[in-house]
Structure 1
Amino acid sequence: MGVYVLLAAAIAAEVTGTVSLKLSDGFSRLWPSVVVIVAYALAFVLLARVLSAGMAVGVAYAIWAAAGVALVALVGALFLDERMTPLMVAGLVLVIGGVVLLELGGAR
């Protein structure tokens, strides 16, 4: 399995866990709470596999974190009635742009 496929799966698991945190209502709801634990465990296992496959930790974490932030913000805006202003969108674009620059700077 390619390193970027593993990283995408780690990101998907992290986003699932983070959205489930909101749905767990402070860990007072059982099934969303279970999803949080399983999803975060899976996210870290997959991220560890990405790192053991040779991706630089700074690049892997930057992609994982930035994509997670952007996707959670989008899920919040689209499905959880959370606000998304143009300034917030600009911030997300800057975060993603920074990750792209990290990736380009590490390319040889």
Structure 2
Amino acid sequence: MTLVFLMCGVLTEVAATLSLRMASGRGGRKWLLAVLAGYLASFTCITLALKDGLALGVAYGIWAASGVALTAVASRLLFHEPLTKVMDTGIGLIAVGVLCIEIGAAR
């Protein structure tokens, strides 16, 4: 269940961040409720993952890094924001960093 909680935490954080983008535009106040609900759900899921035994450094590292990478890709698809080769490289480095955190936590 730990990984399920962590994945839910990442996905709800990304949804909240994308909703924040909508709230800053023409979407207005209704999107602010989605932002609030998304971040509340995300922190709840991360808390459940921590209670289930996931180390804080691992949880936060994966949560933050995955959130950044997924938000960059989703904003490209949804809002047609740029995703350059340098950004693609950064996303690749994030994936390598998350892998290093996982390997390091297993030792």
TM-score, length-scaled by structure 1:
0.93
Structure 1: 4+ residue segments shifted above 2 A: none
CA distance in 2, matches of 1:13, 1:30: 19
1:30-86 Cα distance to aligned partner (Å, 9 max, x none)? 221100001100100110110111100000111111110011000111110100001
Displacement after TM superposition at 1:6 (Å): 0.8
Ranges in structure 1 where 5+ consecutive residues have no aligned partner: none
Distance across 2 between alignment mates of 1:56 and 1:14: 19
- CA distance in structure 2 between the partners assigned to 1:34 and 1:78 by the alignment: 23
CA-CA distance at 1:95 after TM superposition: 1.3
8 Å CA contact 1:20–1:32 kept in 2: the answer is yes
TM-score normalised over the length of structure 2: 0.94
Identity %: 36
Give the aligned length.
Answer: 107
Which residue is 2:93 aligned to? Answer: 94
Q: What aligned pairs does 1:57-72 form with structure 2 within 5 A after superposition?
A: 57-72=56-71
Residue matched to 2:16: 17
Given residue 104 of structure 1, which amino acid in structure 2 is its aligned partner?
I
3-state SS of 1:54 partner: coil
